[in-house]
Amino acid sequence: MLKRYSRNPFFLLLWAVFFLLLTPVPGYCLRVALTTIFVEPCISTCQGLQDMQNDLAADYCLAKDIECGMTNPANPSWKVGGTWGDMKGFAPVGKDHDNKFTGSFDGRGHKIENLYINRPSTFIVGLFGSILGDIKDVGLKDVNIKGGENTGSLVGWNNATITNSYSTGVVIGSNKVGGLAGNNAETIINSYSTAKVTGDREIGGLVGANWFGTIINSHSTGSVSGNNTIGGLAGWTGNGMIENSYSTGAVTGIVREIGGLAGANHSTIKNSYSTGVVNGVKYTGGLVGWNTGSVTNSYATGDVNSSLIVGGLVADNQGPVTNSYATGSVNGIFRTGGLVGWNWNGGTVTNSYWDTQTSGRGASDGGTGKTTIQMKQEATYHPIIDPDDPTDPTHWWDFTERSDDGNEDIWKIDENISYPYFN
């Protein structure tokens, strides 16, 4: 319920200054319009979360951790005939593109626990369905979510900014399914998911499909499985970016385009890595299954097991791969390489390496093979191609030891002990 105060301009000005100078009061959100001041109580119940659907343009916040176990018919607190009496669980707030959420949501560091959704035939599924409003500082713990296309725990279809948020539990859907968001068309920053994610195609540990979206400083650790275009972080990414992000969960695909970080990359991946085991049948890579975008300053350490077109870093490469490496065991039958399985159609591999010993592969369709000890020496990553310009940054990797080069100081290495890792 909104409390409406005097519209006297002088009175309004005094109140506005007073509230803006105060530290936000726990349990309340403040929203100031030109003629009215609104004080909105923060949400403190699961019913309050569901009631957000009654005003999709409002600004919301959480007053405390919220228990939503009552949305699940298997929970003793569930009641027949209640808000969730249809046994489908929570109804996504902003159910479709014609009824999208356009306000804002501030979790204030609180979490929502045991959210249950069972809507396998619904097009957009999550705590929020389709959104334009920003979401920040909220956790979803132990979700149990089943939806159709565009399914995620927090958001089904994201056209806004998600910041400092996370999810745990289980997410199941058909196409474009992610641990945090089903389809991301905007920005996800400083967020993660540990959820187990399962679906058909375009399935990712964090995001199912990253269309025109940006993922920064984010990660996923849950297992991911499906048929086509399956990735540890994102199933499909196109016309967007993945930066400073990683995935560690096992990735399993039954058909093709399977990658430790991304199943298919048609955008930019940089300063990112994957460590999980990757199992597929065709176009299976430690970092990316099918690449037509760019991969820069990235690496994969997980084992890769497949049959056709298999790479320790990238399986099918048709784009630029630069300053990257792979160390995992690589097992395949046709077009199998320690770094790249098949490099064609304009694909390039520059200053990139694989460990010939740990991979069990002496060949790759691109890149340079090195022994384990060589892979743990900084000199390996500074080949002098042009003796007249030995400091050209295109000729070697940017390690912190060379801090006078004017670059970003991306890499570090413990000489003879570790592979390169991010600064």
Distance, in Å, from the CA atom of 404 to the CA atom of 247, rounded to the nearest integer, reads: 32
- The arrangement of secondary structure in 55-380, i.e. its CATH architecture, is 3 Solenoid (2.160)
Residue numbers in the chain where pLDDT is lower than 50: 1-7, 10-24, 32-36, 403
As a whole number of Å, the end-to-end CA separation of the chain is: 49
Distance, in Å, from the CA atom of 105 to the CA atom of 140, rounded to the nearest integer, reads: 13
At 170 the pLDDT is: 98
Please give the structure tokens belonging to residue 418: 């570790």
CA separation, residue 302 to residues 62, 218, 318, 339, 378 (Å): 39, 19, 22, 12, 22
CA dihedral 201, 210, 298, 278 (to 10 degrees): -10
At 400 the pLDDT is: 72
At 132 the pLDDT is: 96
What are the residue boundaries of the structural domains of the chain, listed by start?
1-41, 55-380, 384-423
Please give the structure tokens belonging to residue 21: 């100078």
At 82 the pLDDT is: 79
At 81 the pLDDT is: 75
At 391 the pLDDT is: 55
At 396 the pLDDT is: 75
**Nearest alpha carbon to residue 146 among 177, 167, 168:** 177
The pTM is what? 0.90
- Tokens 């995935």, residue? 247
At 398 the pLDDT is: 87
What are the contacts of 367-374 at 24+ separation with CB within 8 A? 367/313, 367/321, 367/337, 367/338, 367/339, 367/340, 369/338, 369/339, 373/416
At 40 the pLDDT is: 60
- The type of residue at 266 is H
At 28 the pLDDT is: 56
